[in-house]
Amino acid sequence: MIISSNEQCIEYEEDCIKVYMNKNGKTIDSLIMLMENILVSYGIDKARYHGGTLEGTSIQKLLQNANRIFTDFKEEIIKIITEKSTLKIVDKEVSHYIEICTLFDSLFSLSRTPPLEH
């Protein structure tokens, strides 16, 4: 399959997830709830007054705990997906998100650090 846009890529991935979830008697809602429960266990709650999106301190907690949070996500996803090729993709994607969050956490930390005086 040739993917010509980000939207097509996202649609394709969502379709794949639906197929795996249906095979295992899971619903998308159950996976979302599972992931949200993991976030809540780290003190991250989507602010309802912000339309259900993450806000400043929640994002900061997410970035600071990215390795553990995304590892927890991966462990739960692995319970659903059984094909080795897909498990490799999950592992690669989780590692990618951990790296991105770590990078942003470092950048934001540097931006809050006062410059050294010479």
Contact 17, 28 (CB under 8 A): yes
Residue 10 has what pLDDT? 63
Residue 35 has what pLDDT? 84
Length of the chain: 118
Tell me the per-residue pLDDT of 39-59, one tens digit each, with 9 for 90 and over.
888 888 766 555 666 777 888
Average confidence (pLDDT) per 10 residues, the chain, 118 residues = 58 69 64 83 72 75 92 88 83 91 89 78
List the chain domain ranges: 22-112
Q: Which of 100, 104, 74, 71 is nearest to 87 (CA)?
A: 74
As a whole number of Å, the CA-based R_g of the chain is 17
